[in-house]
Amino acid sequence: MRVMSQVAMVMNLDKCIGCHTCSVTCKQTWTNRSGVEYAWFNNVETKPGVGYPRRYEDQERWKGGWVLDRKGRPALRSGSRLKRLSSLFANPGLPSIDDYAEPVTYDYDTLVSAPAGQDVPVARPRSALTGRPVAVTWGANWEDGLGGTPEHGAGDPNLGGGLAEKVRFEFEQTFMFHLPRLCEHCLNPACVAACPSGALYKRMEDGIVLVDQDRCRGWRMCVSACPYKKVYANHATGKAEKCTFCFPRIEAGQPTICSETCVGRLRYLGVVLYDADRVGRAAAVPEETDLLDAQRDLFLDPYDPEVAAAARADGIAEDWIDAARRSPVRALISEYRVALPLHPEYRTLPMVWYVPPLSPVLDAVGAAGGSADDPDHVFAAVTRLRIPLEYLANLFTAGDTDAVAGVLMKLTALRSHMRARSLGDPADRGLLDAVGLTPEQAEDLHRLLAVARYADRFVVPTAHREAATEDQGAAGFRCPVDAGQGPTPLGMPTRRRTDEGAP
């Protein structure tokens, strides 16, 4: 067992109102300069929808993430190392600017310099890249609030398998929810493995994936390999850039800027401990529906004395072990098991997880003529909610509807218990017992999901200066996926770099 630490995030989608405050503050902090006008390190998508860039989830087209080779080992979907080298100068797997949406500015001077007249002056859009007039026909979230869903929603890759017929894109009958996205800072990052120059690397002390700007040669293989399309090419510098998880703030013990400014208070940040020796085997699980449990099994219990001792032996500081014990991320992922990863079938083992949205359950129970006090009626209604289980399963569990239903049933039982408590009705233990929660656990989970304090949502220890300046050649500084420990992705760097590289 080799214990490593990872700063991770969980987002409660029931609380996202789609205000885009997180996107705007991230944009102002990290991508407000020339060359990355089109880049959104954090964006909020409306689902169902084709996403940003357009249809980024269609890996048959973009070849992102990992697949298993003939020997059952993870291999980049974009092809072998030789194939990638052969396409260095003509990479066909790159989204075009039309897929991202060409950034625009406006002729604002026209509004103040136009001569007096009967006509109202108009600030016409111009491309921020070329300066030429351009028509605005697409945007980073064109489908926001169902505005573009009737026209483009059927292109959502998650609507396969007959779901497109089940979901009707009419205002009265369809559904929508918001999905904030940023770099997943994966345990098994495909972007790191695909980089020919080794410019992308995963920091050993906190798991954040960064780009070494001095090493980057602009090959853009990282853009192709990332299945979430969260690596961008700066067209002014020719370098790759991506979400940095606000590592200067993390090192100071502060939350990311998107978490700090989130209006809905839906983001949680914390430390998890995991067994790095088993990452390769977890990514190589044959059945895609088993990937969720395989990744959950990687996470270690910081209260276990053996785990704590092994963490200390592997150089993890005591305050980081304490932070892992208090981590809201660990509680939501491992203890209460209500958080799910985005597209685990990509086999990158993402570390930004989501609590799936829960449709109005009691309305569904009443519409079916059932009783809100009967667990069988309530749980049966979960399968008939406005947001189809199949759709959520395609997003979060590689198609396993039972796993999604289990989470929604737990959230339903929690909601019913707290509703009865608020109304002064006697508590019905039947719902909680059916999902394996005690009243005390339900109260704790409710506090965490609904009314958690700032210090409870963000448990981020400060960085240690001595960890950042140790000899990079020490034997303990190895790749998170260690060679010789089962199936190993190709091209992972073996350096430990903390103070290098920006973003």
User: What is the distance between the alpha carbons of residues 460 and 327, in angstroms, rounded to a whole number?
Assistant: 8
Tell me which residue of 5, 23, 4 sits closest to 267, measured CA to CA.
23
Residues 300 and 3 sit within 8 Å (Cβ to Cβ): yes
Sequence-ordered list of residues with C-beta below 8 angstroms from that of 136, at least 6 positions apart, any chain? 104, 125
Q: What is the pLDDT of residues 87-101, one digit of tens each?
A: 777 777 799 999 998
pLDDT score of 162: 73
Confidence at residue 245, expressed as pLDDT on a 0 to 100 scale: 97
Based on the structure, what is the number of domains in the chain? 1
Tell me the residue range of the domain where 334 lies: 264-457
Spatial contact of 66 and 489, defined as CB atoms under 8 Å apart: yes
Neighbouring residues of 216: CB distance < 8 A, sequence distance ≥ 6: 197, 199, 239, 240
362 in a structural domain: yes
Q: 386 in a domain, yes or no?
A: yes
Contact 186, 177 (CB under 8 A): no
The answer to whether the CB of 348 falls within 8 A of the CB of 65 is yes
Answer whether residue 87 is part of any domain.
no
Number of DSSP helices (H) and strands (E) in the chain, helices first: 24, 14
Burial (CB count within 10 angstroms: exposed 0-12, middle 13-18, buried 19+), residue 245: buried
Give CA–CA dist 144/47, Å, rounded.
Answer: 9
Q: Quick one: pLDDT at residue 346?
A: 97
Instruction: List the CATH number of the domain containing 317.
Output: 3.30.70
How confident is the model at residue 149, as a pLDDT?
A: 72
Residue type, 469: T
Length of the chain: 503
In single-letter form, the type of residue at position 391 comes to Y
pTM for this prediction = 0.88
pLDDT at 378: 65
Residue 473, exposed/middle/buried by CB under 10 A (0-12, 13-18, 19+)? Answer: exposed
Question: What is the β-pairing status of strands 3-12 and 352-355?
Answer: parallel
Within a domain: residue 498? Answer: no
Domain-embedded: residue 463 = no
Dist. CA 452–CA 312, nearest whole Å: 30
Residue 371 lies inside a defined structural domain of this protein: yes
Tell me which residue of 233, 53, 30, 270 sits closest to 142, measured CA to CA: 53
Q: What pLDDT is stored for residue 494 in this prediction? A: 35
Between CA 226 and CA 442 the distance in angstroms is 37
Q: Would you say residue 135 lies in a domain?
A: no
Residue partners of 178: CB distance under 8 A and separation at least 6 = 13, 16, 17, 18, 44, 45, 46, 47
Residue 393 belongs to a domain? yes
> What is the chain's pLDDT, residue by residue, as a tens digit (503 residues)?
899 999 999 999 999 999 999 999 999 999 988 899 999 999 999 998 899 999 999 999 999 999 999 999 999 998 888 887 777 777 777 999 999 988 999 988 888 888 888 888 888 999 988 889 999 888 888 888 766 777 777 788 998 777 877 776 665 567 789 999 999 999 999 999 999 999 999 999 999 999 999 999 999 999 999 999 999 999 999 999 999 999 999 999 999 999 999 999 999 999 999 999 999 999 999 999 999 999 999 999 999 999 999 999 999 999 999 999 999 999 999 999 999 999 999 999 999 999 999 877 656 665 666 665 566 666 666 766 778 889 999 999 999 999 999 999 899 889 888 888 888 777 667 788 888 899 999 999 999 999 999 999 999 999 875 554 443 443 333 344 433 333 333 333 333 443 333 33
